[in-house]
Structure 1
Amino acid sequence: MNRRFALKATVAAGLLAGLTACAPADQGSDIVDIAAANGNFTTLVAAVQAAGLEDTLRSPGPFTVFAPTDAAFAALPAGTVDSLLLPENKDTLVSILTYHVVPGSVTSDQLLDQKLSVATVQGQNVNIDATGGKYGATVRVNDANVTSADILATNGVIHVIDKVLLPK
């Protein structure tokens, strides 16, 4: 029992540290404003704008966004991002981006110690594993790691991930 409490306390402290490091001082920002102000999501923000999803992600929601960093987009094969941003590929871009969004506001404490399959706005499910890993607490969405959780916005929550999720 004490071991489980210690694990949960460690996870909570790590998530709080991530929130403190990534959340802007302005507590009244929506998902798009937070991503734009952060500096690690320039590709994501550009993609959201190119897909015509900016107004949606500024709406009341709430939404849970698994936000890939610029480094995650850079890890895609060369030319992929440039190709996705072309007007003729808007439908594909919308599909990929909405695969990163879950309806509702889901924080990490609601996921702890669970394995779930959750429907995305795109229509397909993502697999969330928050049961911890061999070397400590981890949360994974499909094959991406959550590197920072619970960045709270006025219209939902952002969880930073290290890979771009691609629908099947």
Structure 2
Amino acid sequence: MMETKIVDTREYVSVLRELAETGKVVSMQIAGSSMAPFLIHRRDFIFFTRPDRELKRGDMVFYQRKDGRYVMHRIYRKTPEGYYMIGDGQTEIEGPLDRNQIFARVIKVKRKGKTMEAGNFWWEFFEHVWIRVIPLRRILLSIYSIKNRMKFG
């Protein structure tokens, strides 16, 4: 029988952060629902490394909040004050964040067991379309939720 060990999330992610900052590609399972419906809690994985280019709107990035918590969201916009972030399942924009709070960019994901990256239809949809429909997200997410309940109910 395999032994289960509980590890503090901040401790775990800080180790992954160190690896990513050296240029290694690191993966971890998604925890939390802020990136649904694109990425689902305990189902999907992200692969990230230090940013290798200028960050832009729609990029999924990993950052550390001032309170020490680690978060992976999308860049909504960049201004002289900093970066503004939002999760795919959210309607509230967070920011501004300093560039030095962002330590990694997500370069691919494993969603529903399939690996995808830029160029994939769903990747492009969430990066370019979903990021622009924030006022409609509550309605669209409600429809998505009802559809899933009907499918599984």
TM over 0.5, shorter chain = no
Where on the TM-score scale, by shorter chain, does this alignment land: which range?
Answer: under 0.3
Q: Give the TM-score normalised by structure 2.
A: 0.24
Higher relative contact order (CA 8 A, sep 6+): 1
Structure richer in helix, relative to its length? 1
